[in-house]
Amino acid sequence: MALFDIIMLALIQGVTEFLPISSSGHLILWPLMTGRPDQGLMMDVAVHLGTLVAVCIYFRRDVAVLGRGTLQIASGQRRGAEARTALLVGIATLPALVAGLGLKLAGAMDALRVVEVIGWTTILWGVALWLADRFGAERRIGADWGLRDALAMGFAQALALVPGTSRSGITMMTARALGFRRDEAARISLLMAVPVTLAAVVLESAELVSAGSFAVGGELLLGAALSCMAALAALSVMMRMFRASWTMTPFVLYRLALGTLLLALAYS
């Protein structure tokens, strides 16, 4: 793969993966507008691994809590705050894992990855994000996250398997509808991203191993490193915006513009 393609793919994936603006919309728009070749599954794994490392670095304290809680559950301790957090994240992860496996076995993933679908979902879920952010209360914090919240955000995360929805966008939308503060909604959403992204990386890597095409090279390491740095920068900017009382409106307006462009390309 050309150096230019590696850099652009890593930057696009890194910047858009955790912002509520749909990474799939950008990844499908790039080759459409430039005629560049598809990056392939190996590079997909590399850039997703890079963004996984980024969220683990940025939310390292929360990820450490998640890790310790998981170990506590494995050893039969389920009553502490850390074990409770790990259990809730696990519950929130299950719907996406089940739905993802079902879609993969049915061979429906590629059928959904078309410009028309991504364009419409980018717009419709963008409007839903604005409504939840506009009318949702801002009174709850992460410590208030309970079983019903985890289930609601988990099923929302499963809907994000439809390209253009945006995993971070729909989970933040659900958290805002449940009354969580913007920065807390983002923090919970991104903590939920850790097991889901890890599962995706493991599954895609297993496919490559079974096909006998798994290999690590300089191109992949570069893609992973660049996507990690881009994701860290994007996370930092987004969290500062939310802590400074910015609303979701800038992201919503961007989604509307992106969705409109995708639909124009699809129906032209």
Percentage of the chain modeled with pLDDT above 70: 96
Q: CA separation (Å) from 25 to 177, 220, 222?
A: 24, 22, 23
Mean pLDDT over each residue of the chain, to the nearest integer? 90
The two tokens of residue 200 are: 């995706």
- Give me the pLDDT at residue 112, please: 82
Q: Is the pLDDT higher at 150 or at 35?
A: 150
- Is 61's pLDDT higher than 80? yes
Of residues 266 and 153, the one with the higher pLDDT is 153
Band (pLDDT 50/70/90 cuts) for residue 107 is confident
pLDDT band for 67, please (50, 70, 90 cuts): very high
Average pLDDT of the residues in 237-255:
95
Q: By the 8 A CB rule, do 226 and 6 touch? A: yes
pLDDT at 40: 64
**Distance from C-alpha of 88 to C-alpha of 77, rounded to nearest angstrom:** 14
Domain housing 131: 3-267
Residue 21 vs residue 43, higher pLDDT: 21
The Cα 239–Cα 182 span in angstroms is 9
pLDDT tens digit sequence for 174-191: 999 999 999 999 999 999
Residues 64 and 66: their CA atoms lie apart, in Å, by 5
> What's residue 219's pLDDT?
81
Q: Does the pLDDT of residue 113 top 90, yes or no?
A: no
pLDDT of residue 212: 65
| HSE (side-chain half, CA atoms, 13 Å) at 130 | 13
Number of domain units in the chain: 1
pLDDT of 31 higher than 80:
no
Range of lowest pLDDT (25-29, 198-202, 257-261): 25-29
Residue 79: φ, ψ to 5°: -105, -15
pLDDT tens by residue, 135-180: 999 999 999 999 999 999 999 999 999 999 999 999 999 999 999 9
